[in-house]
């Protein structure tokens, strides 16, 4: 039944956006909420001010972008011009031929000091189709008022597994990515070896055994707003969450939540261009991309949300929060004080092992 809904949803969305499309509209797909607002402020508004004949239409479909892009591709009617997706989705879209490959040095601006775009973005370019935008991290928040007396507050991922020092419920993401890595890291596996170990049957068993030790205390989230709500309600003591959402809860809503950064997992978010755009629309998208991914624009976005710009050259330009006036740098996942121990999701490894480990993870959850 769900399939049909998806299909019908996709086709009706197609019909709707197709009818709304005039010559100078550009449909940009993103995640909605505070994140879309930051893009509106940092990219869309300045771009539309400079190009009054272009209207940018926001579509908040990024969570279903992969499925919808495939449906559009099969229907032969691409109504989106630019799509904001996570790195793992970008790889999948690129593999499926649903996103367009780009030459980053050709289409993106160089850094102010002349460094080429591909060098400026560096390792963040994890796929030929992917134009990185921000670095975010999955890290931990904890209730400051529930830390047991006489104990130092938790500092990172491994405190999640320490039920003796920090009793209480934990909130974790209901998917194997990051959880299995944390389990191994906190079980004493060296960072360099994590994926090698996870590749083996014994390594997977070891990771699940480590997760078994806290299984009874874990509540699993599937929507990223859930862990924040749980923390705010005191439903859990500690939870993994996206750092930008934790920032909003702590700084903008003054919740009694602290950050535990150790072993935060870096993840990337960026643009992909749907494959098969007609030339005139593609030219417009390229013009927008050149503008919206330059050094200053990426740094500007950090005024509105605590995600780190993906360009090296943008980091020194990160300034203060647009409304609260506080320094943003200490809240960035990339700040040296927060980034003592970090790891980067190995996207290509997960592209292989996702199907397999996901089945194991779901079976483990169901036991």
Partner 1 sequence: MAPPVSNMTDATQTGPVLSADGTPLKRSLQKALFRQKMRALALIAPLLIFVLVTFILPIGDMLFRSVENQIVSATIPRTVVALETWDADSGESPGEEVYAAFYWDMAEAVEAKTHTRLGGRLNYEMTGLSSLFRKTGRGVSDIGEFYMDQLADLNDEWEEGAFLADALGAESWVSAATDAAANDVTAPAFVLRDGVADALPLTAHIYSRFAAQTLAEKDSPLEEDPWEAVYTALYQDLISNPNAASAVSPAAANLFTDAAAAVPNFENIGFKEQFIDIDKDWDDPEAWQTIQAYSSAYTAGYFLAAMDLMNTPDGIARVDEDERIYIRLFGRTIFMSLLITGTCILLGYPIAYLLSNLKVRHANLLMILVLLPFWTSLLVRTSAWKVLLQQQGVINDLLVWVGLVADDSRLQLINNQLGTVIAMTHILLPFMILPLFSVMKTIPPSYVRAAKSLGATNWTAFWRVYFPQSVPGIGAGSILVFILAIGYYITPELVGGTSGVFISNRIAYHISTSLNWGLAAALGAMLLVLVLALYWIYDKMVGIDNVKLG
- Out of 219, 248, 282, 317, name the contact with partner 1 by CB under 8 A: 219
Instruction: State residue 346 phi and psi, 5-degree precision.
Output: -85, 90
Of 128, 122, 130, which Cα lies nearest the Cα of 311?
122
Give residues 141-200 in contact with partner 1 (rule: CB under 8 A): 169, 174
Q: Which stretch binds partner 1 (CB under 8 A): 89-97, 117-125, 190-198, 305-313?
A: 89-97
Q: Are 261 and 250 in contact (CB under 8 A)?
A: no
Give residues 30-69 in contact with partner 1 (rule: CB under 8 A): 63-64, 66-67
- Out of 220, 339, 341, 344, name the contact with partner 1 by CB under 8 A: 220
- Out of 7, 248, 251, 317, name the contact with partner 1 by CB under 8 A: 7
Give residues 228-267 in contact with partner 1 (rule: CB under 8 A): 230, 233-235
In sequence order, what are the residues at sequence separation of 6 or more whose Cβ sits closer than 8 angstroms to the Cβ of residue 240?
Answer: 138, 139, 140, 157, 160, 171, 172, 173, 178, 179, 227
What is the Cβ-side half-sphere exposure of residue 200, based on CA atoms within 13 angstroms? 8
Q: Are 180 and 207 in contact (CB under 8 A)?
A: yes
Helices (H), the chain: 2-20, 33-39, 45-50, 65-75, 87-95, 104-107, 117-121, 176-185, 194-199, 201-212, 226-233, 243-247, 279-292, 295-301, 347-366
Q: In this complex, which beta carbon is closest to partner 1, that of residue 2 or of residue 114?
A: 2
Torsion of CA 207, 208, 209, 210, to 10 degrees: 60
Q: Which stretch binds partner 1 (CB under 8 A): 30-38, 45-53, 295-303, 346-354?
A: 346-354
Confirm or reject binding of residue 364 to partner 1 (CB under 8 A): yes
Confirm or reject binding of residue 105 to partner 1 (CB under 8 A): no
Give residues 289-308 in contact with partner 1 (rule: CB under 8 A): none
- Out of 32, 33, 54, 70, name the contact with partner 1 by CB under 8 A: 70
Coil, strand or helix at 307: coil
What is the Cβ-side half-sphere exposure of residue 69, based on CA atoms within 13 angstroms? 31
Query: Smallest distance, Å, CB 156 to partner 1?
Result: 24
Query: Smallest distance, Å, CB 254 to partner 1?
Result: 18
Query: Smallest distance, Å, CB 227 to partner 1?
Result: 13
Confirm or reject binding of residue 3 to partner 1 (CB under 8 A): yes
User: Could you list the residues that contact partner 1 (CB under 8 A)?
Assistant: 1-4, 6-8, 11, 63-64, 66-67, 70, 92, 94-97, 101, 169, 174, 219-220, 222-223, 230, 233-235, 348-349, 351-356, 358-360, 362-366
């Amino acid at each position: 039944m769900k399939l049909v809904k998806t299909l019908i949803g996709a086709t009706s969305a197609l019909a709707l956006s197709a009818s709304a499309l005039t010559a100078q509209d550009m449909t940009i797909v993103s995640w909605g909420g505070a994140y879309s607002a930051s893009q509106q402020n940092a990219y869309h508004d300045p771009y539309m001010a400079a190009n009054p004949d272009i209207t940018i239409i926001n579509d908040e479909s990024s969570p279903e972008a992969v499925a919808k892009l495939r449906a559009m591709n099969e229907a032969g009617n691409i109504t989106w011009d630019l799509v904001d997706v996570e790195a793992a989705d970008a790889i999948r879209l690129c593999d499926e031929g649903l996103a367009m490959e780009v030459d980053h040095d050709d289409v993106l601006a160089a850094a102010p000091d002349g460094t080429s775009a591909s060098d400026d973005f560096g390792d963040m370019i994890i796929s030929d189709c992917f134009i990185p935008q921000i670095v975010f991290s999955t890290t931990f928040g904890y209730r400051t008022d529930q830390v047991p007396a006489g104990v130092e507050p938790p500092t990172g991922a491994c405190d999640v597994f320490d039920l003796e020092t920090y009793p209480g419920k934990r909130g974790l993401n209901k998917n194997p990515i990051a959880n299995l890595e944390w389990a191994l890291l906190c079980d004493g596996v060296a960072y360099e070896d994590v994926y090698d170990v996870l590749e083996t049957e014994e390594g997977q068993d070891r990771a699940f055994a480590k997760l078994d030790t806290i299984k009874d205390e874990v509540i699993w989230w599937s929507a990223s707003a859930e862990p924040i709500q749980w923390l705010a309600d005191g439903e859990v003591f500690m939870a993994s969450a996206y750092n930008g959402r934790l920032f909003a809860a702590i700084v903008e809503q003054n919740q009694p939540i602290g950050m535990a950064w150790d072993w935060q997992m870096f993840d990337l978010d960026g643009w992909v261009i749907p494959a098969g755009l007609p030339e005139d629309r593609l030219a417009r998208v390229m013009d927008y991309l050149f503008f919206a991914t330059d050094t200053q624009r990426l740094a500007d976005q950090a005024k509105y949300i605590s995600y780190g710009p993906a360009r090296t050259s943008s980091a020194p330009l990160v300034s203060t929060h647009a409304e609260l006036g506080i320094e943003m740098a200490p809240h960035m996942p990339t700040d040296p004080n927060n980034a003592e121990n970090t790891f980067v999701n190995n996207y290509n490894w997960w592209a292989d092992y996702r199907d397999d480990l996901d089945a194991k993870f779901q079976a483990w959850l169901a036991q």
